[in-house]
């Protein structure tokens, strides 16, 4: 009965039989634990006995609809069927006196609303093994997810060839609003605030609204403890590249005598010095990060409420050699083998640099109308504060060159319901109100103007299980967005243009369990994205790319139609686990930057890029296969490929990832004496050269392909109620000098060289969820 | 299904609240912030060529001017360069101005105060001219805001003036006026069509 605080390192999407069912059996009246209750799944012939505290776990279950039987001394056996699609917690309350099972309360069923959507999850163990990395880099291991970089420290996730405003980030259930339009703006999410990162690979606009064209990244909230007692953890990480590391701590508990009340506080900090490419220091790429969060939750049978607050702050240097003034500088940088500015390693952060702070406040209240129907109201407030500092003359470098403050309010009301025995789903309304404010005093005309954006949407998403194995899904959404812009025009006149965008999205899907080990998911969805202010109104020199970018206020909505088919199959009795995702995404009015000539300025001639719309088509395949060689050894392969084409002009799309192929050898062992959960992995990643790219858009040809050697090792040491886990992970172990097609700084310098990270986690106290 | 009906009513009520809640936020900001004065912007480059020795009893002065008052876009830059006579020896000074603000600001003193962080580079394809005697920063390395020009022979070509911010003056060739290894950030890069007669 090992307490499974971090699962085994498996993808949740693998169809293998490794799901767990756990929970607590308690007495409904005095809430005392019912020790040694028996949990049995008769169809599978497996079960478990609860421990003294009434806690049980049944491991290695296959997905499916299973009958669960709970018995306790002197009670009649009680049965209920559950749909097990992923690790689940089912708390059971027995009406002890009446000796009958009143109700099985499903407290933690991870939301799986889009049953037809292909999705991949990184669980706590995966996140833990990527300790010391940012969220986008963690997600980059998932087939179909790439990382768009601006130098070694700024990373954004790309899903199926789309990134930035074309994918959506949900942090604690709230749309992340932190200036995602810029490639040099990394998402401000602390990976320590979640124990599960989910990537939805379909167009999920029905549920989440605009921007969810390529997919959604969900950083899920951690479930609070409900029972008395305190538990926590301390984590330390240290990395050789950047000679830095981090510390993180967490404490959580329930409150004695107040059942259902739980709390959690958490904080982390990270410091890195200049990172190192294979052959030189990447000067001024240091980083300082501090983040914290607090959650208070209360849950009773009918009511549940959660209050969450988090703050994330980050200061980071931008590669000094990437700060350029014009196209001549850029051409010189491309021709140089080494960046022109390489200084000895330092922890100092000089301009150009960014300072960002992001606050998130969430209040959620859920009211259970019946056993199955629920109303959930969520309010979110985010405040994003961003300053970018440039190298300026006249001692002005300490004055921000860009100073943006963006508060966002959001409100959601969702009604989760059942109509009859089969049809169930949710419907709701979402409202969003956002302001973007350029704080005066920079002495520079703002890159994007001030604006107010308000959106209002209504949606419905329904599921209908046709049979036990085949579930259908359909949804629709209607949304209106109003954008009010405040700016000076070219003649210095104050103008306040208003834009209105009305959109709808439709979605249909199916989830078909062909057998215990084979599952097919299919989804077809429309999605939309109103143009961002930067696409409508930007006008000026984009530093870092030595170009002038011109907005077009007449641009309309982007609309996409995406089809995703996802097959998960276990072959040879589950020894070979495979997952295959095939998709096609057709986007009309796809907005991108097209070169339109040169403009003479006092800094020399600048290429001009206009925001224009075209029709785009993206096709791709993600695949994964893992073969168990024996009890301990496995091999795994992951592959992803995207093809993007410009339908109006013909030819390929710009900024498409190149093909990737990763192979790994894995050794897993559950216990070795006092140690447990041992896992070793050696991986080899091949990133091919992009051979499909449009002529005349890029300043340099795509970089060569590269090969990476990586490793990971982790082991746990249970110590009663406490546990020590430690691990090591290495990337680019051969210290290969390389540049990546999706790295905007590939013109200036090589990407990050060899890096080895050590991590330790000490968890104390037990507090089951 | 009374519960469902009740839920529907709740849903509508709260939806209404959200809608009305958002409406009242739509007041535009009261007063617009004044447009930004871009005080660090260069709009104008002026080269002044003055005889070092009087010719025929007088010191003659020739001007070359590059102006783009409204910045990138809008009106095209205006470039003018007086033809300069051959066989003469000139003292040349570079003046940088921001003429987009009133009154215009001369930015050359700021560059000279931060001489270690700046350097002017000159290129003159087609011109039979020798440039020398560049002014120096506190480290004895060239700044180039003033220099001498000897017009050797009749010719026609381009005089390119580039100003780099924070160049690496210790890199090979940079102190000799070669821009190749200078790095840094280009603040100015303008071409004058020059005739030496």
| Cβ atoms of residues A530 and A500 within 8 Å | no
Band of the pLDDT at B12, cuts 50, 70, 90?
low
Note the pLDDT of residue A29.
59
Suggest the residue from B8, B9, B19, B33 to mutate for an interface test with chain A (most A CBs closer than 10 A).
B33
Token pair recorded at residue A390: 């440039």
Question: What is the count of residue pairs from A and B with beta carbons less than 8 Å apart?
Answer: 155
Suggest the residue from A393, A405, A544 to mutate for an interface test with chain B (most B CBs closer than 10 A).
A393
| Cβ atoms of residues A150 and A745 within 8 Å | yes
- Tell if the CB–CB gap between A429 and B14 is shorter than 8 Å: yes
Residues of B in contact with A318 (CB under 8 A): none
DSSP β-bridge partners for residue A148:
A156
Q: Say what the pTM is.
A: 0.85
The mean pLDDT of B75-101, rounded to a whole number, is 93
Residues in chain B: 197
The mean pLDDT of A731-744, rounded to a whole number, is 94
Q: Which of A67, A16, A21, A18 has its CA nearest to residue A41?
A: A67
Determine the Cα angle at B14 with ends B8 and B19, to 5°: 120
Note the pLDDT of residue A31.
64
The mean pLDDT of A94-111, rounded to a whole number, is 39
Nearest-angstrom CA–CA distance, A504 and A633: 49
The mean pLDDT of A664-689, rounded to a whole number, is 93
Q: Has residue A10 got a pLDDT over 50?
A: no
CB atoms within 10 A of CB A435: 18
Band of the pLDDT at B172, cuts 50, 70, 90?
very high
CB atoms within 10 A of CB A173: 19
Q: Which of B22, B70, B78, B151 has its CA nearest to residue A480?
A: B22
Nearest-angstrom CA–CA distance, A573 and A582: 24
Residues of A in contact with B184 (CB under 8 A): 325, 329, 340
Which residues 6+ apart lie within 8 Å of A313 measured at CB?
A289, A290, A291, A355, A356, A357, A358
Nearest-angstrom CA–CA distance, A685 and A738: 13
* Contact with chain B for residue A403, Cβ under 8 A: no
- Nearest chain B residue to A397, by CA: B40
- Kind of pairing, strands A215-221 and A167-171? parallel
Band of the pLDDT at A565, cuts 50, 70, 90?
very high
Nearest-CB residue to B36 (from A326, A443, A482): A443
Nearest-angstrom CA–CA distance, A431 and A333: 46
Determine the Cα angle at A245 with ends A153 and A145, to 5°: 40
* Tokens 């009246």, located at residue: A29
Q: Give pLDDT tens digits for A685-696.
A: 999 999 999 988
Distances, alpha carbon A608 to alpha carbons A548, B79, B113, B190, in Å = 5, 21, 34, 18
Q: Has residue B93 got a pLDDT over 60?
A: yes
Q: Has residue A7 got a pLDDT over 80?
A: no
Question: Mean pLDDT in chain A?
Answer: 87
Nearest-CB residue to B7 (from A417, A445, A450): A417
Q: Has residue A97 got a pLDDT over 70?
A: no
Suggest the residue from B13, B14, B78, B118 to mutate for an interface test with chain A (most A CBs closer than 10 A).
B14
Nearest-CB residue to A445 (from B38, B77, B180): B38
Q: Has residue A119 got a pLDDT over 60?
A: yes
Note the pLDDT of residue A121.
87
How far does the CA of residue B53 sit from the closest CA of chain A (Å)?
32
Nearest-angstrom CA–CA distance, A585 and A118: 14
Which residues 6+ apart lie within 8 Å of B57 measured at CB?
none
- Tell if the CB–CB gap between B28 and A604 is shorter than 8 Å: no
Token pair recorded at residue A685: 């990643």
The mean pLDDT of A138-156, rounded to a whole number, is 92
- Tell if the CB–CB gap between B165 and A324 is shorter than 8 Å: no
A220 CB-side CA count, 13 A: 19
Q: Which of A673, A720, A764 has its CA nearest to residue A2?
A: A720
Question: Mean pLDDT in chain B?
Answer: 85
Nearest-angstrom CA–CA distance, A121 and A173: 16
Band of the pLDDT at A383, cuts 50, 70, 90?
very high
- Tell if the CB–CB gap between B185 and A456 is shorter than 8 Å: no
The mean pLDDT of A277-284, rounded to a whole number, is 96
What is the number of H-type helices and E-type strands within chain A? 5, 43
The mean pLDDT of A252-275, rounded to a whole number, is 91
* Contact with chain B for residue A46, Cβ under 8 A: no
* Tokens 């009906």, located at residue: B5
Q: Give pLDDT tens digits for A630-644.
A: 999 999 999 999 999
Residues of B in contact with A444 (CB under 8 A): 36, 38, 40
Find the range with the poorest average confidence among A333-337, A390-394, A462-466.
A390-394
Nearest-angstrom CA–CA distance, A116 and A526: 14
Note the pLDDT of residue B15.
52
- Tell if the CB–CB gap between B190 and A446 is shorter than 8 Å: no
Helix (H), strand (E), coil (C) string for B69-137? CCCCCCCCCEEEECCECCCEEEEEEEEEEECCCCCCEECHHHHHHCHHHEEEEEECCCCCEEEECCCEC
Nearest-CB residue to A370 (from B3, B18, B37): B3
Note the pLDDT of residue A111.
40
- Nearest chain B residue to A436, by CA: B29
Note the pLDDT of residue A504.
94
* Contact with chain B for residue A381, Cβ under 8 A: no
| Cβ atoms of residues A201 and A564 within 8 Å | yes
Determine the Cα angle at B112 with ends B111 and B115, to 5°: 85
* Tokens 């560059």, located at residue: B111
Determine the Cα angle at A724 with ends A722 and A727, to 5°: 160
Band of the pLDDT at A135, cuts 50, 70, 90?
very high
Q: Give pLDDT tens digits for A195-231.
A: 889 999 888 889 888 888 889 999 988 888 877 789 9
Nearest-CB residue to A454 (from B8, B26, B114): B26
Note the pLDDT of residue A117.
81
| Cβ atoms of residues A482 and A465 within 8 Å | no
Residues of A in contact with B183 (CB under 8 A): 321, 332, 340-341
Helix (H), strand (E), coil (C) string for A275-324? EEECCCEECCCCEEEEEEEEEEEEECCCEEEEEEEEEEEEEEECCHHHCC
Band of the pLDDT at A109, cuts 50, 70, 90?
very low
Phi-psi region of A372 (alpha: psi -120 to 50; beta: other; left: phi over 0): alpha
- Tell if the CB–CB gap between B15 and A373 is shorter than 8 Å: no
How far does the CA of residue A604 sit from the closest CA of chain B (Å)?
5
A653 CB-side CA count, 13 A: 27
Helix (H), strand (E), coil (C) string for A586-640? EEEEEEEEEEEEEEEECCEEEEEEEEEEEEEEEEEEEEEEEEECCCCEEEEEEEE
The mean pLDDT of A725-739, rounded to a whole number, is 95
- Tell if the CB–CB gap between B18 and A431 is shorter than 8 Å: yes
Q: Has residue A75 got a pLDDT over 70?
A: no
Residues of A in contact with B43 (CB under 8 A): 602
Note the pLDDT of residue A330.
87
- Tell if the CB–CB gap between A325 and B190 is shorter than 8 Å: no
Nearest-angstrom CA–CA distance, A386 and A767: 38
How far does the CA of residue A590 sit from the closest CA of chain B (Å)?
26
A154-159 β-sheet, strand order: A145-150, A154-159, A162-163
Residues of B in contact with A373 (CB under 8 A): 3-4, 7
């Amino acid at each position: 009965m090992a307490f499974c605080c971090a699962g085994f390192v498996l993808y949740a999407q693998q169809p293998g039989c490794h799901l767990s069912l756990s929970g607590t059996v308690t007495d409904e009246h005095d809430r005392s634990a019912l020790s040694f209750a028996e949990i049995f799944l008769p169809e599978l012939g497996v079960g478990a006995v609860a421990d003294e505290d009434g806690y049980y776990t049944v491991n290695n279950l296959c997905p499916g609809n299973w009958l669960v039987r709970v018995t306790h001394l002197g009670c009649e056996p009680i049965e209920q069927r559950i749909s097990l699609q992923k690790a689940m917690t089912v708390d059971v309350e027995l009406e002890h006196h009446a000796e009958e099972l009143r109700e099985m309360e499903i407290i933690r069923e991870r939301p799986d609303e889009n049953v037809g959507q292909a999705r991949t999850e990184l669980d706590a163990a995966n996140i833990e093994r990527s300790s010391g990395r940012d969220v986008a880099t963690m997600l980059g291991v998932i087939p179909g997810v790439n990382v768009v970089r601006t130098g070694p420290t700024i990373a954004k996730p790309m899903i199926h060839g789309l990134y930035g405003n074309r994918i959506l980030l949900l942090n604690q259930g709230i749309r992340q609003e932190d200036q995602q339009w810029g490639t040099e703006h990394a998402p401000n999410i602390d990976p320590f605030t979640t124990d599960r990162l989910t990537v939805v690979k379909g167009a999920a606009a029905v549920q989440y609204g605009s921007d969810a064209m390529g997919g959604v990244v969900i950083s899920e909230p951690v479930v609070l403890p409900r029972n008395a007692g305190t538990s926590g953890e301390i984590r330390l990480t240290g990395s050789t590249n950047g000679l830095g590391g981090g510390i993180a701590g967490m404490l959580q508990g329930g409150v004695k005598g107040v059942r259902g009340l739980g709390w959690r506080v958490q904080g982390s900090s990270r410091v890195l010095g200049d990172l190192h490419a294979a052959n030189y220091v990447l000067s001024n790429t240091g980083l300082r990060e501090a983040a914290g969060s607090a959650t208070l939750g209360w849950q009773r049978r009918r009511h549940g409420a959660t209050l969450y607050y988090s703050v994330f702050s980050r200061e980071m240097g931008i590669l000094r050699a990437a700060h350029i003034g014009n196209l001549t500088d850029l051409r010189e940088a491309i021709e140089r083998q080494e960046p022109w500015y390489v200084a000895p390693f330092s922890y100092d952060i000089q301009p150009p640099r960014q300072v960002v702070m992001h606050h998130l406040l969430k209040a959620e209240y859920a009211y259970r109308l019946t056993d199955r129907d629920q109303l959930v109201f969520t309010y979110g407030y985010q405040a994003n504060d961003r300053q970018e500092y440039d190298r300026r003359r006249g001692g002005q470098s300490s004055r921000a060159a860009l100073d943006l403050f963006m508060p966002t309010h959001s409100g959601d009301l969702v009604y989760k319901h059942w109509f009859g025995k089969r049809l169930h789903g949710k419907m709701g309304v979402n409202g969003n109100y956002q302001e973007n404010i350029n704080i005066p005093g920079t002495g520079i005309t703002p890159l994007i103007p001030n604006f107010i954006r308000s959106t209002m949407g209504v949606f419905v998403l329904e599921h209908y299980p046709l049979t036990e194995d085949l579930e259908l899904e359909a949804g629709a959404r209607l949304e209106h967005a109003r954008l009010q812009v405040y700016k000076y025009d070219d003649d210095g006149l104050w103008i306040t243009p208003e834009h209105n965008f009305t959109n709808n999205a439709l979605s249909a899907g199916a989830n078909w369990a062909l057998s215990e080990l084979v599952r097919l998911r299919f989804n077809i969805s429309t999605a939309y994205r109103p143009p961002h202010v930067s696409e409508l109104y930007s006008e000026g020199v984009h530093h870092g790319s030595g170009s002038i970018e011109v907005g077009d206020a007449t641009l309309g909505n982007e609309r996409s139609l995406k089809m995703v088919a996802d097959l998960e199959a276990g072959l040879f009795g589950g020894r070979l686990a495979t997952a295959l995702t095939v998709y096609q995404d057709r986007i009309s009015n796809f907005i991108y930057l097209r070169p339109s000539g040169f403009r003479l300025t006092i800094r020399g001639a600048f290429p001009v890029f206009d925001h224009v719309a075209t029709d785009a088509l993206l096709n791709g395949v993600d695949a994964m296969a893992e073969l168990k060689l024996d009890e301990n050894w496995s091999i795994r392969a992951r592959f992803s490929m995207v093809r993007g084409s410009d339908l109006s002009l013909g030819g390929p799309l710009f900024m498409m990832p190149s093909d990737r192929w990763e192979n790994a050898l894995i050794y897993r062992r559950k216990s070795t004496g006092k140690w447990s959960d041992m896992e070793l992995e050696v991986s080899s990643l091949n990133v091919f050269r992009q051979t499909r790219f449009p002529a005349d858009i890029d300043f340099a040809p795509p970089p060569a392909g590269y090969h990476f050697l990586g490793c990971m090792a982790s082991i746990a040491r249970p110590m009663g109620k406490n546990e020590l886990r430690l691990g090591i992970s290495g990337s680019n172990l051969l210290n290969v000098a390389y540049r990546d097609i999706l790295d905007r700084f590939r013109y200036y310098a090589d990407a990050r060289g060899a890096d080895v990270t050590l991590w330790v986690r000490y968890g104390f106290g037990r507090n089951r969820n | 299904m009374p519960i469902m009906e009740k839920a529907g009513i709740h849903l509508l009520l709260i939806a209404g609240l959200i809608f009305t809640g958002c409406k009242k936020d739509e007041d535009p900001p009261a007063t617009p912030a004044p447009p930004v004065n871009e005080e660090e912007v260069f709009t104008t480059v002026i080269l002044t060529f003055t005889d070092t020795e009087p010719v025929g009893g007088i010191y003659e002065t020739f001007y070359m001017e590059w102006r783009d008052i409204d910045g990138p876009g809008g009106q095209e830059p205006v470039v003018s360069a007086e033809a300069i006579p051959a066989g003469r020896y000139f003292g040349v000074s570079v003046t940088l101005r921001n003429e987009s603000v009133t009154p215009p600001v001369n930015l050359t003193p700021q560059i000279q105060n931060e001489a270690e962080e700046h350097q002017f580079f000159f290129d003159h394809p087609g011109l039979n001219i020798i440039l020398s005697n560049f002014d120096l920063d506190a480290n004895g390395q060239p700044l180039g805001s003033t220099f001498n020009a000897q017009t050797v022979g009749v010719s026609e070509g381009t005089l390119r003036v580039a100003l780099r911010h924070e160049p690496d003056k210790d890199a090979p060739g940079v102190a000799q006026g070669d821009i190749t290894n200078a790095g840094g950030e280009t603040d100015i890069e303008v071409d004058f069509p020059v005739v030496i007669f």
